């Protein structure tokens, strides 16, 4: 990292070249007050709080718009600077309502904090008529009190730059400026980032309104359980109830994770499922048609006896163990160990559909290097195949956008569905439904371009250009969804060899050509073409090196790195632990369900609603389950599957369990327990442990989950050297540190299979050419079956069942 | 006296017609430029002329043009700032409605000087809708006859001009806010650096000049930069069109050479103050500059340096004359209301400060001023001055401070505890 030397308040400071003065001051321990400055957003310099005196410049300068240069002399603590800050605070307070007693933000309000730190304790403004406007709700999740606004415009910038939604904007002029949207009601994906970054109580979370005061709140960082990105959330609890989850609190504290200040609607607004009334609170046992509550001892004993009976009468393999993809590593490990040692069955699998990424295929030819969010943010080129990260992996979508915006990364999109990320793409190909795999065929073999283009119903020229661009790029992050299957998925491992890293000159020329093209691009926000990147000319001059100040970007060990957009928060963990049919050599989940009453006589289902997940085939699955001799379900809610069970064990949610999970970047992260178990629920691993002991096999763990992880670290490949305390102190640790290249013989086979696949694509298949990109959040209801009072607002269709309105629950599944 | 800008004013609008314009020597400068000048020479002549930006800032025009890089990846633009909104200024209105072709010619020459700017814009204030029509007709005529458009006069040089109306925002007269508005966004100013000459409209190098500045260019081409400079003073070349308003017998637009004595303009050209009243104050450069007393006006010459020397600014040259009946408190209150109304709301001091200023002024207007209010006004203005994002904040602050400095009794009258004494005296 190149550095410069400058002087701040008489002290010499060494700083990264090009870094903003405000960040450099903070790194040196001098906190400059600010409202409009926010790392990751374009510089604005409108609040005038961060003014400092820079030698040789006539007026006070804003530190947030000033990159440091060699020999700069800065004064931040003179009387002139202090008076100006106090004046700015006084200006802001002159129209600010005295709402602190009733404002949610009090106690963690940046305006309060900066007034105390830099303002004066008197006011000269005696207004008869402050511009009072009533507080109003402007979206299902946002309250807005316009009078509290300091017009820092963090919210509008976040919506434009991080989310690319432009849902919220400023209206009116001058001192009548308000934050609103045209029509008054904000139509957006409800990510809530705008509420988190707001320094005052202007934007507030609806579910959290009047629930707690910050000094009543205990906050602990944990990891979100909804998608495979693995964002950290700061979970706020009050009296041992989980009341909110945010990316950052009003003091700027975050969960310290890979997502920095970013979070999506799911991570933020759906935590109310934890305390919802529908949770299973006690163990239940079937008596006839009903499930009746009982004690843990009884339920465990009963289950143990029945499972032992099945084992002795039909043999070990007659029992299957199915886990949910969201269960933590420790839970998965216990289930696997239980299956192998206690039951003696190879039929252990985590629930995954045919239309999810088949990790076995992905890893078939070695271990392709996995990309973390940091890699995506620093890639030269990003290839997005299939999926829609805006919907399903919002942090990845954010990283892609960030890379394009801040680093001029080249984005290439191949998808059969409309996606908002196409707006940032250099080339976006909308392909025939189901033909994304053909793209891999074209990448691996130049001669296959024509056939692949036809199969995908795109032009061979565009396809060729994309292939060339990827060939000449230095570091490429390939982000892919479940549209890649079979040979296409396996073929990814061969990209490194076929589109090998270019020589330094080729890469440099390509980079220069691209920069040149960007420099020629006429920028306009209102053109009907997709808008160009980096609208604000100032961003072009000061690109942010990394999202974290003075952090080094991660190292790339190869040209390609992959982000498999897995469906569940711990799919990769389940796979690596061995809780997956191809790894354990047994039947897959669907095979087990099909074999109910035949090969499979008993099932132990942990955390998964197999009936609900089957959608329209749910009735058929139910019938299958009815054929079992015995069904044990450990669950949070009385799902359809739980209703079929003979024994239901209440399990904890992510907020009540401690453990680890692995995200789609191969990072192991610590999930912390933030509240004690609700009612009589117990952690999944503990239930399995107790069950095993009662069946006569002590799996070796007492009562501490870190013992489980210690054994994982000792026994499972990729986890060596890890421990809970290391994770707690050092942050995420990378699993799968090795990467191996595929063997040569396999490549011809892949090419052949790919050619067959391309030939087999139905030319009559349709292509979705719609302009309108899906409103973010519109497909959520397809993945998450049920909805709570608040999370109901995330999706539109009403859920009606049996003629009455359900109060169902959205929870990670 | 040599006239540069108002030579066709006597034609009372007939020069809007292309043939009349041509008949009175029009488009000769453009022809001369295309035939005899290189772009560098044009900039050189303009530098020698000491022509300075007539919109108010007075930045040397030739120097501004020279900041534009010769080669550019993005297209270059010439943008004419016709958003004349400075209170007291009405020169551009008459310039455009009496001699629109001169503006077009000036813009075309400027586009040539920048080494090629095919598409150029006139950002005209929305309230001048009727002048927009005049300009559009002139452009259409010029396009038709080959004085604008592709291949001007067979030279191969291309210059298109489009008129874009504003929608009633004074802030859009600030050059970067103008560019934002032209691009279709909210009219907020941009961070400088980068300056528009390097990164401007749609990211390309852009020269933003006032109407009057651009309309001086043809004369400079035809007569040389030295000759233009000789009309004025050493540091302020040429002539300027002043709008005189207020308590004078003959308000209007007057073209005078730089360095002309202000008292001569007011008392001779404009016929002095009616009914023999005495001069009290003058606002020399449009409302955004410090107000000056009658004594200071007496000693003042109309060029950038001289006005600065007596503590004010030449600005846009909107001379507002106030006689002894004027209540400077009320006039300043009027201005403060204007700045509050026009503040764009981007930065804290201007947005909140102008609001607060107006509030205090209103209180004092009702004779409910509290002791300390004058000091409060002065301090608020002090806290806006130099701390705002763009000069609008300064423009709001300077009139207040100068008015209190020089006409304090008018303010004292409004403080409540003084009222009794005033009423007793009256």
Interface test with B, best of A53, A408, A536, A537 (most B CBs within 10 A): A537
What pLDDT does A808 receive?
A: 42
CB contact under 8 Å between B387 and A523, yes or no, is: no
How much is the average pLDDT of B262-271? 96
Q: What whole-number distance in Å separates Cα of residue A488 and Cα of residue A494?
A: 10
| Nearest by CB: A46 against B202, B346, B383 | B346
CB contact under 8 Å between B387 and A48, yes or no, is: yes
Chain B residues with CB-CB distance to A124 below 8 A: 376
Q: What whole-number distance in Å separates Cα of residue A35 and Cα of residue A45?
A: 9
Q: How near does any CA of chain A get to the CA of B120, in Å?
A: 15
Residues with Cβ within 8 Å of residue B344, at least 6 apart in sequence: A173, A174, B169, B171, B177, B186, B187, B188, B189, B350, B351, B392
User: Is-contact B199 B68, C-beta < 8 A?
Assistant: no
> pTM here?
0.91
Residue of A nearest to B74 (CA): A520
Interface test with B, best of A50, A91, A529 (most B CBs within 10 A): A91
CB contact under 8 Å between A46 and B194, yes or no, is: no
CB contact under 8 Å between B184 and A94, yes or no, is: no
Q: What whole-number distance in Å separates Cα of residue A610 and Cα of residue A570?
A: 17
Q: In 10 A of CB B213, how many CB atoms?
A: 25
Q: How near does any CA of chain A get to the CA of B55, in Å?
A: 22
User: Is-contact A393 A746, C-beta < 8 A?
Assistant: no
Chain A residues with CB-CB distance to B387 below 8 A: 48, 51, 59-60, 84, 87-88
Q: How near does any CA of chain B get to the CA of A49, in Å?
A: 9
For the stretch B302-314, pLDDT in tens is: 999 999 999 999 9
CB contact under 8 Å between A91 and B73, yes or no, is: no
Q: How near does any CA of chain B get to the CA of A97, in Å?
A: 14
How much is the average pLDDT of B175-203? 90
CB contact under 8 Å between B199 and A537, yes or no, is: yes
Q: How near does any CA of chain A get to the CA of B69, in Å?
A: 14
Q: Where are the alpha helices (DSSP H) in B125-184?
A: 129-144, 175-182
Q: How near does any CA of chain A get to the CA of B17, in Å?
A: 35
CB contact under 8 Å between A173 and B185, yes or no, is: no
Burial of A782 (0-12, 13-18, 19+ CB in 10 A): exposed
Chain B residues with CB-CB distance to A43 below 8 A: 191
Interface test with B, best of A130, A153, A174 (most B CBs within 10 A): A174
Closest among B78, B84, B82, B83 to B64, alpha carbons compared: B78
**Phi, psi dihedral angles at B85 (to 5 degrees):** -130, 0
What's the ipTM?
A: 0.93
Taking one residue from A and the other from B, the number of pairs with CB-CB distance under 8 angstroms is 115
What is chain B's mean pLDDT, rounded? 94
CB contact under 8 Å between B203 and A521, yes or no, is: yes
User: Is-contact A345 A316, C-beta < 8 A?
Assistant: yes
Interface test with A, best of B176, B180, B387 (most A CBs within 10 A): B387
Q: How near does any CA of chain A get to the CA of B385, in Å?
A: 10
Q: How near does any CA of chain A get to the CA of B349, in Å?
A: 6
For the stretch B313-332, pLDDT in tens is: 999 999 999 999 999 999 99
Residue of B nearest to A95 (CA): B352
Q: What whole-number distance in Å separates Cα of residue A101 and Cα of residue A65?
A: 35
CB contact under 8 Å between B185 and A538, yes or no, is: no
What pLDDT does A745 receive?
A: 55
Assess whether pLDDT exceeds 90 at residue B286: yes
User: Is-contact B215 B99, C-beta < 8 A?
Assistant: yes
Chain B residues with CB-CB distance to A175 below 8 A: 340, 343, 345, 351-352, 354-355
DSSP element (H, E) containing B226: helix B225-231
Chain A residues with CB-CB distance to B354 below 8 A: 174-175
Confidence of residue B367 (pLDDT cuts 50, 70, 90): confident
A630-635 and A602-606 beta bridge pairing: parallel
Give the DSSP letter string of B38-58: -HHHHHHHHHHTT-B-TTTT-
Confidence of residue B264 (pLDDT cuts 50, 70, 90): very high
Closest among A566, A572, A570, A581 to A336, alpha carbons compared: A581
The sign of the CA dihedral A649, A655, A657, A662 is: positive
Chain A residues with CB-CB distance to B368 below 8 A: none
Chain A residues with CB-CB distance to B352 below 8 A: 91-92, 94-95, 175
Give the DSSP letter string of B298-315: HT-EESHHHHHHTTS--T
Q: What angle do CA A165, A169, A172 make, to 5 degrees?
A: 160
Length of chain B: 426
Closest among B282, B281, B341 to B317, alpha carbons compared: B282
Q: Average pLDDT of each block of 10 consecutive residues along chain A (813 residues)? A: 92 91 94 93 91 94 93 96 96 90 93 94 75 79 92 92 86 90 82 94 92 93 92 94 92 89 90 86 94 96 96 94 95 96 95 86 86 94 92 92 86 89 86 90 90 91 93 94 90 88 87 82 50 45 71 88 93 93 89 94 94 88 95 92 95 93 95 94 95 94 90 92 93 76 70 86 81 57 50 46 43 54
Q: What whole-number distance in Å separates Cα of residue A405 and Cα of residue A210?
A: 37
Burial of B265 (0-12, 13-18, 19+ CB in 10 A): buried
Residue of A nearest to B184 (CA): A526
Interface test with A, best of B191, B198, B390 (most A CBs within 10 A): B191
What pLDDT does A18 receive?
A: 81
Interface test with A, best of B337, B345, B365, B397 (most A CBs within 10 A): B345
| Nearest by CB: B386 against A45, A60, A524 | A60
E strands, B157-259, in order: 160-165, 206-210, 239-246, 252-257
Q: How near does any CA of chain A get to the CA of B263, in Å?
A: 34
Q: Reduced to 3 states, what is the DSSP secondary structure of residue A387?
A: coil
What pLDDT does A524 receive?
A: 53
User: Structure tokens of B150?
Assistant: 């592709």
Spell out which chain A residues touch chain B, with contact meaning CB-CB distance below 8 angstroms. 43, 45-49, 51, 59-60, 65, 84, 87-88, 90-92, 94-95, 124-125, 127, 150-151, 170, 172-177, 516, 519-526, 536-538, 540-541
Chain B residues with CB-CB distance to A517 below 8 A: none
Q: What whole-number distance in Å separates Cα of residue B213 and Cα of residue B141?
A: 23
CB contact under 8 Å between B352 and A92, yes or no, is: yes
Interface test with A, best of B182, B348, B358, B372 (most A CBs within 10 A): B348
Q: In 10 A of CB A288, how many CB atoms?
A: 6
Chain B residues with CB-CB distance to A86 below 8 A: none
Q: What whole-number distance in Å separates Cα of residue B421 and Cα of residue B425?
A: 6
Residues with Cβ within 8 Å of residue A633, at least 6 apart in sequence: A605, A606, A641, A642, A644, A645, A647, A648, A649
Chain A residues with CB-CB distance to B376 below 8 A: 124
CB contact under 8 Å between A91 and B352, yes or no, is: yes
């Amino acid at each position: 990292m190149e550095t410069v030397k400058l002087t701040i308040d008489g002290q010499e400071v060494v700083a990264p070249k090009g870094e903003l003065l405000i960040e450099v001051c903070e790194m040196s321990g001098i906190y400059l007050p600010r409202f409009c400055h926010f790392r990751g957003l374009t510089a604005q310099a409108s609040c005038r709080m961060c003014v400092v005196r820079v030698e040789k410049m006539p007026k006070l300068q804003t530190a947030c718009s000033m990159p440091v240069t060699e020999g700069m002399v800065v004064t931040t603590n003179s009387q002139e600077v202090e008076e100006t800050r106090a004046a700015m605070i006084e200006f802001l307070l002159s129209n600010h309502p005295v709402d602190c007693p009733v404002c949610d933000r009090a106690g963690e309000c940046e305006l309060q904090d900066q007034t105390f730190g830099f303002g004066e304790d008197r006011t000269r403004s005696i207004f008869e008529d402050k511009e009072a406007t009533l507080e109003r709700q402007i979206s299902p999740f946002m309250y807005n009190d316009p009078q509290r606004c300091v017009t820092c415009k963090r919210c509008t910038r976040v919506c434009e730059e991080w989310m690319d939604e432009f849902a919220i904007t400023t209206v009116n002029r001058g001192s009548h400026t308000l934050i609103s949207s045209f029509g008054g009601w904000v139509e957006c994906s409800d990510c809530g980032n705008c509420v988190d970054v707001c320094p005052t109580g202007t934007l507030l979370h609806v579910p959290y309104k009047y629930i707690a005061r910050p000094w009543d709140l205990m906050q602990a960082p944990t990891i979100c359980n909804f998608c495979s990105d693995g964002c950290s959330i700061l979970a706020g609890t009050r009296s041992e109830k989980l009341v909110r989850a945010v990316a950052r609190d009003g003091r700027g504290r975050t969960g310290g994770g890979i997502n920095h200040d970013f979070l999506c609607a799911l991570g933020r607004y759906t935590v109310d499922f934890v305390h919802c009334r529908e949770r299973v609170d006690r163990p239940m046992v079937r008596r006839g048609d009903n499930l009746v509550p009982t004690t843990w001892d009884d339920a465990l004993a009963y289950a143990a006896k029945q499972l032992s009976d099945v084992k002795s009468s039909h043999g070990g393999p007659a029992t299957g163990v199915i886990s949910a993809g969201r269960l933590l590593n420790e839970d998965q490990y216990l289930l696997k160990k239980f299956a192998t040692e206690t039951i003696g069955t190879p039929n252990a699998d985590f629930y995954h559909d045919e239309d999810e990424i088949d990790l076995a295929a992905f890893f078939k030819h070695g271990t392709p290097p996995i990309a973390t969010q940091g890699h995506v943010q620093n890639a030269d080129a990003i290839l997005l195949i299939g999926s829609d990260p805006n919907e399903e992996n919002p942090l990845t979508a954010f990283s892609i956008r960030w890379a394009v915006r801040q680093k001029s990364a080249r984005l290439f999109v191949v998808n059969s569905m409309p996606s908002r990320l196409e707006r940032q793409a250099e080339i976006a190909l909308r392909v025939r439904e189901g033909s994304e795999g053909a793209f891999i065929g074209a990448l691996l073999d130049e001669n296959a371009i024509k056939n692949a283009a036809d199969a995908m119903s795109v032009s061979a020229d565009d396809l060729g250009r994309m292939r060339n661009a990827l060939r000449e790029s230095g570091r490429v992050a390939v982000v892919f969804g479940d549209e890649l299957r079979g040979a296409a998925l396996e073929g990814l491992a061969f990209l490194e060899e076929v589109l090998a890293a270019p020589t330094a000159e080729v890469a440099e020329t390509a980079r220069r050509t691209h920069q040149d093209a960007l420099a020629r691009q006429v920028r306009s926000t209102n053109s009907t073409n997709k808008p160009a990147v980096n609208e604000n000319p100032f961003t072009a001059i000061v690109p942010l090196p990394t999202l974290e100040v003075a952090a080094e970007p991660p190292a790339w060990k190869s040209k390609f790195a992959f982000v498999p957009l897995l469906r569940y928060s711990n799919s990769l963990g389940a796979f690596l632990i061995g809780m997956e049919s191809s790894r354990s050599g047994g039947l897959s989940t669907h095979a087990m369900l099909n074999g109910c009453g035949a090969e499979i006589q008993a099932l132990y289902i942990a955390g998964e609603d197999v009936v609900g997940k089957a959608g329209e085939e749910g009735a058929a699955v139910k019938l299958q389950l009815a054929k079992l001799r015995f069904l044990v379900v450990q669950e949070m809610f009385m799902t359809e599957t739980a209703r079929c069970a003979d024994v239901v064990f209440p399990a904890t949610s992510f907020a009540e369990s401690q453990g680890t999970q692995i995200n789609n970047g191969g990072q192991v992260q610590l999930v912390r327990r933030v509240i004690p178990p609700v009612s009589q629920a117990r952690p999944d691993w503990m239930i399995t442990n107790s069950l095993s002991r009662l069946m006569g096999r002590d799996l070796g763990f007492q009562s501490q989950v870190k013992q489980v992880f210690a054994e994982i670290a000792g026994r499972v490949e990729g986890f060596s050297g890890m421990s809970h305390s290391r994770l707690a102190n050092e942050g995420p640790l990378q699993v799968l540190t090795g990467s191996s290249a595929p063997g040569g013989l396999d490549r011809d086979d892949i090419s052949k299979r790919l050619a067959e696949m391309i030939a087999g694509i139905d030319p009559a298949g349709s292509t979705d050419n719609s302009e309108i990109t899906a409103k973010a959040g519109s497909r959520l209801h397809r993945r998450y079956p049920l909805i709570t009072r608040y999370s109901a607002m995330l999706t539109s269709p009403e859920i009606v069942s049996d003629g009455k309105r359900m109060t169902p629950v959205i929870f990670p599944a | 006296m040599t006239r540069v800008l108002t030579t066709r004013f006597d034609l009372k609008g007939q020069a809007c017609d292309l043939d009349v314009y041509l008949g009175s020597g029009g488009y000769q400068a453009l022809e001369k430029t295309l035939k005899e000048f290189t772009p560098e020479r044009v900039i050189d002549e303009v530098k020698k002329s000491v022509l300075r930006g007539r919109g108010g800032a007075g930045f040397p025009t030739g120097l501004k043009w020279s900041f534009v890089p010769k080669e550019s990846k993005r297209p270059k633009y010439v943008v004419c700032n016709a958003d004349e909104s400075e209170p007291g200024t009405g020169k551009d209105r008459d310039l455009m409605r009496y001699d629109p072709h001169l503006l077009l010619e000036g813009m075309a020459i400027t586009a040539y000087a920048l080494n090629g700017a095919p598409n150029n814009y006139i950002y005209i204030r929305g309230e001048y809708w009727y002048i927009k029509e005049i300009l559009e007709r002139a452009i259409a005529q010029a396009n038709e006859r080959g004085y604008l458009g592709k291949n001007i006069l067979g030279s191969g040089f291309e210059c298109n001009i489009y008129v874009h109306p504003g929608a009633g925002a004074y802030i859009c007269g600030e050059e970067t806010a103008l560019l934002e508005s032209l691009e279709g966004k909210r009219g907020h100013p941009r961070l400088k650096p980068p300056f528009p000459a390097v990164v401007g409209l749609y990211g390309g190098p852009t020269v933003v000049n006032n109407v009057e500045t651009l309309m001086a260019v043809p004369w400079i081409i035809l007569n040389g930069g030295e000759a233009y400079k000789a009309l004025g003073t050493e540091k302020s070349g040429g002539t300027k069109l002043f709008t005189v308003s207020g308590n004078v017998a003959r308000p209007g637009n007057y073209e005078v050479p730089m360095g002309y004595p202000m008292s001569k303009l007011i008392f001779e050209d404009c016929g002095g103050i009616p009914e023999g009243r005495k001069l009290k104050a003058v606002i020399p450069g449009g409302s955004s500059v410090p107000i000056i007393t009658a004594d200071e006006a007496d000693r003042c010459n109309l060029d950038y340096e001289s006005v600065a020397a007596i503590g004010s600014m030449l600005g846009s040259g909107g001379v507002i004359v106030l006689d002894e009946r004027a209540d400077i408190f009320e006039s300043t209150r009027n201005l403060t209301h204007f700045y509050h109304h026009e503040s764009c709301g981007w930065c804290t001091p201007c947005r909140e400060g102008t609001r607060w200023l107006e509030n205090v002024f209103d209180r004092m207007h009702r004779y409910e001023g509290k002791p300390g209010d004058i000091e409060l006004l002065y301090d608020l203005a002090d806290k806006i001055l130099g701390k705002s994002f763009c000069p609008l904040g300064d423009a709001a602050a300077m009139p207040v401070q100068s008015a209190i400095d020089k006409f304090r009794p008018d303010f004292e009258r409004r403080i409540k505890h003084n009222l009794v004494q005033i009423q007793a005296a009256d």
